[in-house]
Every structure is written in structure tokens, then in C-alpha cells.
Amino acid sequence: MIQLSQEHLQTICTHAESTYPEECCGIILGYLASEGKIVVEVMPTENAWNTEAAAEFPGERTTESKRRQYAIAPEIMLKTQREARVSEARSLNIIGIFHSHPDHPAIPSECDRLYAWQGYSYIIVSVQNGKAGELQSWSLDDHHQFQAEAIENII
């Protein structure tokens, strides 16, 4: 289970709508607790997908655009993780990634699965005709298959 506030959900949806018809992406910061993953902050990032990013991925993905792909720049991931851990008051970790699926359901694609990391939550928001709609969270099981993850709103 992943727990996040209405404000976190709104940040994700607003970012998704603002980047439509391209995919948005961002980092989810928080910590692990006995009741699941607790979100403290969601951080919208730029979709850094480009031919250079595509070159890192084998197959036909090099022809895809930001409308069907996203990438978070590695330096942003590293900087975010470092800053989240450094502050004693925060002591957070990256616990997930969010992105949008423009004019597609909030279900992970095969590419999403292939490049997902074990232990992270993957929140996907479907954006239909520019309006954020269905939002689901997913995590990988021991067989590297996505399983739906319950989302609980916290105040």
C-alpha cells in the first residue's frame, strides 16, 4: 500500500494535465513504514526523453516520442536522492516514480515493466483529452510483473 495526501494527488494530476499530450513524470519521496509506503513529497520533473535517452534502451523505442515515453535524467535522480538523505530532518528516500499515459489507461506498458525497479511504487495517471482521470499505483512482484498497489489517502 502507498499512502499519500490529496495535495500529492493534485500535484500529480496538475503536472500530467500541464504536459499533455506528452507524458509527464516525477519522483515520489517518502519512507517505508509497517503500514506501507508513506509519501512525504511528490516532485514533478521534466520529461527528459530524447534520442540520447532512447539510445539507452534497446529495440524500437528510439522512434518513440514523449507522447509514449518518459525518462527522468539520471543526474536529477541522484541529486534528489542525495538531498533527501542529507537533511536530518527529512531522512527520506525515493520510494517511487509517477508518470502519465496520455489518452491511454493507467495500466503499465511492457516498456514500463521492463525498466521498472523492484521496491518502487509506480503511480500512473490516465489523461484523456487533456483531463487527468484514473490514477493507479503499481509495484513489481518477485517475478518482475506489475501488481496493483492500494492507494490510501491521508490528510
Whether the Cβ atoms of residue 96 and residue 66 lie closer than 8 Å to each other? no
- Tell whether the model's pLDDT for residue 3 goes beyond 60: yes
Q: What is the pLDDT of residues 39-88, one digit of tens each?
A: 999 999 999 987 666 666 555 554 558 888 999 999 999 999 998 887 65
- Rounded Cα–Cα distance for residues 78 and 151 (Å): 26
- Rounded Cα–Cα distance for residues 96 and 138 (Å): 10
Q: Which amino acid is at 2?
A: I
Peptide bond between residue 21 and the one before it cis (omega within 30 degrees of 0): yes
3-class state of residue 82 by DSSP: helix
Nearest of 123, 115, 118, 109 to residue 152 by alpha carbon: 123
Question: Model's pTM, two decimal places?
Answer: 0.91
Say how many C-beta atoms besides its own lie within 10 A of residue 73's C-beta: 15
Domain 2-58+70-154 indexed as CATH 3.30.360.10: no
Task: Tell me the domain boundaries of the chain.
Answer: 2-58+70-154
Mean predicted confidence (pLDDT) in 103-107 = 98
Mean predicted confidence (pLDDT) in 132-151 = 97
Write down the pLDDT at residue 135. 97
- Rounded Cα–Cα distance for residues 139 and 120 (Å): 6
Nearest of 76, 83, 13, 88 to residue 49 by alpha carbon: 76
Say how many C-beta atoms besides its own lie within 10 A of residue 67's C-beta: 16
